């Protein structure tokens, strides 16, 4: 699945995906999951690390002109447990 496109200490996984709008226009997106807080109001927010990750993503896209956008998402904390399926 191309995990690990971006080489950065805080890029947990990365891959290419497509976004298609209602008119059928396709956008190629570099998706990155990070362990960093992306909320500047969070006490754990590290601007220097976020900026470094963003710079690595921008550099990658600069070398791959078919990519139209970048999306960086913070990993969700905790796990999801399925307790029952159906009735």
**What is the structure's pLDDT at 79?**
52
Query: 86 in a domain, yes or no?
Result: no
| Residue ranges making up the domain that contains 46 | 11-74
- Asked if residue 2 has pLDDT above 50, the reply is no
Q: What is the pTM of this model?
A: 0.81
CA quadruple 11, 13, 16, 20: dihedral positive or negative?
Answer: negative
Which residues, in sequence order, are bridge partners of residue 2?
none
Question: Would you state the structure tokens that stand for residue 11, as one six-digit string?
Answer: 């890029």
Q: What angle do CA 7, 46, 34 make, to 5 degrees?
A: 40
In a domain, 2, yes or no: no
Is residue 28 domain-resident?
yes
**Which two three-digit tokens encode residue 17?**
């995906």
Q: What is the pLDDT of residues 32-87, one digit of tens each?
A: 999 999 999 999 999 999 999 999 999 999 999 999 999 999 998 755 555 555 65
pLDDT, tens digit (0-9, with 9 covering 90-100), for 54-68? 999 999 999 999 999
| Predicted confidence band of residue 4 (pLDDT cuts 50, 70, 90) | confident
75 DSSP assignment: P
């Amino acid at each position: 699945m191309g995990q690990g496109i971006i080489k950065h200490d805080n890029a947990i996984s990365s891959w290419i995906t497509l976004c298609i709008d209602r008119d059928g226009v396709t956008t190629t997106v570099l998706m990155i999951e990070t362990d960093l807080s992306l909320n500047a109001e969070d006490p754990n927010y590290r601007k220097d690390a976020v900026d470094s990750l963003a710079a690595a993503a921008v550099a990658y896209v600069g070398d791959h002109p078919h990519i139209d956008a970048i999306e960086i998402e913070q990993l969700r904390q905790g796990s999801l447990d399925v307790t029952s399926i159906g009735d």
